[in-house]
Amino acid sequence: MTEGPTAGSVTPAEVAERLRGEKRILAVSHEAPDGDALGCLSAFLLMCEQLGIPCRGYVPGESGIPPEYLFLPKVRGVLRGRPPSLEPETTIYFFDCASLLRSNSHGFPEDVVRINIDHHADNPGYGEYNLVDADAASTTVILHEIFEAGGFSVDREVATALYVGLVTDTGRFQYSNTTPDAHRTAAALQECGVDVAWVYRQVYESTPLPKLLLLERALRHLEVRLGGALAVSWLGNDDFVQTGADEGHAEGLIDTLRRIHGVRVAALVREKSGENGVQAKVSLRSTDGSLNVAELAHKRGGGGHARAAGFTVDEDLATVLDWIETEVGTAL
């Protein structure tokens, strides 16, 4: 086996075994981090501390950490921006990163060992060691399997971080990835002491005002196309400035677009205009699974899941929205 997603495949027990022997770790998740990305980093950093392994966390890019996840231990301390320089004998653990591009790892040396832990079906297996399980509801579910396989004790703080990844990636246990295994993991985590009502308040009832004002902007720009099957909206630089919001506040806003009756695909475009011209960062959701939005995103160099994907292009808003409408109209 030299190519494909199974190259260098490892089991949770093998990852746990490797982890015990690490000298130094950089734990990386994806840009524009969500609850799964940050839940993984929080749980993994806490566990490394328990195991006595020096570990730093890193999230590429400059966009803000969504404020609803700042309560997770160690999240405020993760490195941001350009990839940090690595001390000798550092292993990089990637979490929830469908591709190396998304984790912005081009700045890392070629000879560093990469461990790729993820649940995206389109993950190409870019690590020397790959633990990719597309059936896992969240990457934190896989991380839980690693901890269990290694016999590492999962305390309340670790369990809470793992649970945050699971509850957010399953849409509070309501998306199609909400399997019996997802519920079993949730039950196991609750038995480790997770206070689910407290997590709910932290994640879903602590919305900063600028985020709601940003949602109001997105609703103001809402258009329904293709006879109601496609909902599109956008946010521009002014929307962020005038509401006092930062990039992290846009996380999850697309979920409101997908709720509209009859909508099968939702798209939210973040239009950025600056010195380097315009750029459109597109989030896509499929509500009923009739269209694989990851395939759509791949056509423009992006990626993701069948029902949640995204891409970024150097195009203006009207051009990218028309492209989406044409593609979705042809596919449905």
Contact positions vs Mn ion (CB under 5 A)? 36, 96, 139, 169
Nearer to Mn ion, 245 or 294 (CB): 294
C-beta of 4: minimal distance to Mn ion in Å? 21
DSSP H stretches of helix in the chain: 12-20, 35-51, 139-150, 156-169, 180-191, 196-204, 209-220, 237-243, 254-258, 293-298, 317-331
Nearer to Mn ion, 132 or 328 (CB): 132
Nearer to Mn ion, 169 or 327 (CB): 169
Q: Three-class SS of residue 308?
A: strand
Cα separation, 214 vs 235, in Å, equals: 8
Nearer to Mn ion, 43 or 328 (CB): 43
* Spatial CB neighbours of 108, under 8 Å, sequence gap ≥ 6: 83, 86, 92
Nearer to Mn ion, 169 or 247 (CB): 169
C-beta of 39: minimal distance to Mn ion in Å? 9
C-beta of 156: minimal distance to Mn ion in Å? 22
C-beta of 331: minimal distance to Mn ion in Å? 24
Residue 271 is inside which H or E element, if any? strand 265-274
CA distances from 6 to 126, 298, 304, 331 (A): 10, 20, 18, 30
Residue sitting closest to Mn ion (CB): 36
C-beta of 203: minimal distance to Mn ion in Å? 15
